[in-house]
C-alpha cells in the first residue's frame, strides 16, 4: 500500500507566468482536426459527442474528462500506428506501463511555466517510447508513445475503437495517497498511480486549448462560471491554494478558513481566505454555502449534488475530502 504524503517539488509550487502553448497530441494531419467529425472516436454508442468533454456518455449521465482522438494510420493487422505527441513543453511525471486501470497504459506530463500550472495526460497507449523516463524534460511535439486501446482487462477496447484519450487539467492534492488509504472502500486496494490517480485530477475541455494554440490558462479558468461554493474551516492552506496562487485571494497567513468556488464539473476555480470570526465559517469541517440554480441539472448529473439537488453529491464529497485532507 502506498502511504504518506507526496511532497511536491518546489517548482510545482512556484510562480508561473507564461502563456500555455498547445499543439495537436497525435500525428494526425492538421487538416483533419477542424471538426469533431474529422477526429473524434465515439464510444460503442456511435454518438459523436461521446468522444468529447463533458456529460457526454450514457445519454448525459456520465462525465468524460477529456477528448478521444481516433487513429488514421494502421499496420497490416489493423492496429493503430499513430504517434502520441507531447501537446506542450513539460516534464514527465508518471508512466504507467501496465493495463491495470481505466486509462490503460498512460503518460502524464506537468507543465509548470503557464499562468496556471497543469498536467496533460495521454491514455490507452499501445506502448510508451522506451527512451521516455520519469523526470525527463520533453518538448512540444515529441513522441511519447503509440496510440492504442489498452484499458482494464475486464473492459477491453476493441481494435475498431483504438484512440488516444487526451486530458488537460489541474492536480487536486499532494496528499491524495493519505486520503485514498483512509477510505473504507480502498483499504484492500493499492493506489498504483500515486497523485496521478484519475480521482486526483480535474480536467478542463481540451479542444478550445488545442484550437487556440497559445492560451492564457488563468483567463480560461476565470471565465468558467461558478456553479456552487463550499466553505472549509482550516487555518492551514490546502496545498491546492499554494500550488495555484493565481486562483487564491485574501491573506493566507491570517486565514481561518476558505471559500471555494467550483465549476459544475468540480474544478475549484477560485479560493478566498476567510478571516477568523467570518460568519461564513462552519463550526468544523465544511459545508455547501451557495448554489447557482441555473446549473442545478448539470450539478445533479455530475453528482456534485444529490438527485434531490439539495445536498452535496458523491463527486463534491470526494473533491472536498481530497482537498481538506491536505489542510490537516
**Burial (0-12, 13-18, 19+ Cβ within 10 Å), 226:** middle
- Domains detected in the chain: 10-215 (2.70.70.10), 224-325 (no CATH)
What's the angle, vertex CA 198, arms to CA 194 and CA 202, rounded to 5? Answer: 115
Q: Enter the pTM of the model.
A: 0.93
Q: Which helix (H) or strand (E) holds 222?
A: helix 217-223
Q: With contact defined as beta carbons under 8 Å apart, do 302 and 266 qualify? A: yes
Taking alpha carbons only, the member of 206, 264, 252 closest to residue 53 is 206
Q: Which residue has the cell 472536498?
A: 320
Q: Which of 96, 154, 88 is nearest to 125 (CA)?
A: 96
Quickly tell me which residue has 527512451 as its cell.
131
Per-residue pLDDT of the chain (328 residues; tens, 9 = 90+): 223 333 344 335 445 467 889 999 999 987 778 899 999 999 999 999 999 999 999 999 999 999 999 999 999 999 999 999 999 999 999 999 998 889 999 999 999 988 899 999 999 999 999 999 999 999 999 999 999 999 987 778 999 999 999 999 999 999 999 999 999 988 888 899 999 999 999 999 999 999 998 999 999 999 999 999 999 999 999 999 999 999 999 998 899 999 999 999 999 999 999 999 999 999 999 999 999 999 999 999 999 999 999 999 999 999 999 999 999 8
How many CB atoms sit inside 10 A of residue 88's CB? 22
Amino acid at each position: 500500500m502506498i502511504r504518506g504524503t507526496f511532497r511536491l517539488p518546489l517548482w510545482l509550487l512556484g510562480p508561473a507566468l507564461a502563456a500555455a502553448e498547445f499543439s495537436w497530441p497525435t500525428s494526425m494531419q492538421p487538416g483533419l482536426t477542424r471538426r469533431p467529425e474529422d477526429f473524434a472516436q465515439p464510444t460503442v454508442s456511435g454518438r459523436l459527442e461521446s468522444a468529447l468533454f463533458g456529460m457526454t456518455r450514457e445519454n448525459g449521465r456520465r462525465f468524460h474528462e477529456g477528448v478521444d482522438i481516433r487513429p488514421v494510420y494502421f499496420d497490416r493487422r489493423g492496429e493503430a500506428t499513430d504517434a502520441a505527441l507531447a501537446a506542450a513543453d513539460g516534464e514527465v511525471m508518471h508512466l504507467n506501463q501496465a493495463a491495470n486501470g481505466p486509462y490503460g497504459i498512460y503518460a502524464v506530463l506537468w507543465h509548470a511555466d503557464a499562468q496556471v500550472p497543469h498536467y496533460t495526460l495521454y491514455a490507452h497507449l499501445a506502448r510508451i517510447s522506451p527512451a521516455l523516463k520519469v523526470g525527463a524534460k520533453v518538448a512540444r511535439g515529441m513522441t511519447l508513445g503509440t496510440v492504442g486501446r489498452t484499458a482494464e482487462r475486464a473492459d477491453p477496447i476493441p481494435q475498431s475503437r483504438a484512440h488516444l484519450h487526451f486530458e488537460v487539467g489541474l492536480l487536486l492534492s499532494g496528499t491524495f495517497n493519505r486520503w485514498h488509504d483512509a477510505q473504507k472502500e480502498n483499504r484492500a486496494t493499492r493506489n498504483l498511480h500515486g497523485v496521478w490517480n484519475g480521482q486526483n485530477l480535474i480536467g478542463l475541455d481540451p479542444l478550445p486549448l488545442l484550437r487556440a494554440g497559445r492560451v492564457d490558462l488563468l483567463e480560461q479558468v476565470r471565465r468558467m462560471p461558478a456553479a456552487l461554493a463550499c466553505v472549509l474551516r482550516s487555518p492551514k492552506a490546502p496545498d491546492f491554494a499554494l500550488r495555484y496562487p493565481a486562483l487564491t485571494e485574501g491573506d493566507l497567513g491570517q486565514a481561518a478558513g476558505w471559500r471555494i468556488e467550483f465549476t459544475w464539473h468540480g474544478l475549484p476555480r477560485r479560493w478566498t481566505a476567510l478571516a477568523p470570526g467570518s460568519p461564513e465559517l462552519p463550526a468544523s469541517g465544511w459545508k455547501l454555502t451557495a448554489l447557482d440554480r441555473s446549473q442545478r441539472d448539470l450539478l445533479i448529473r455530475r453528482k456534485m449534488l444529490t438527485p434531490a439537488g439539495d445536498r452535496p453529491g458523491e463527486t463534491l464529497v470526494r473533491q472536498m475530502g481530497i482537498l481538506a485532507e491536505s489542510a490537516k
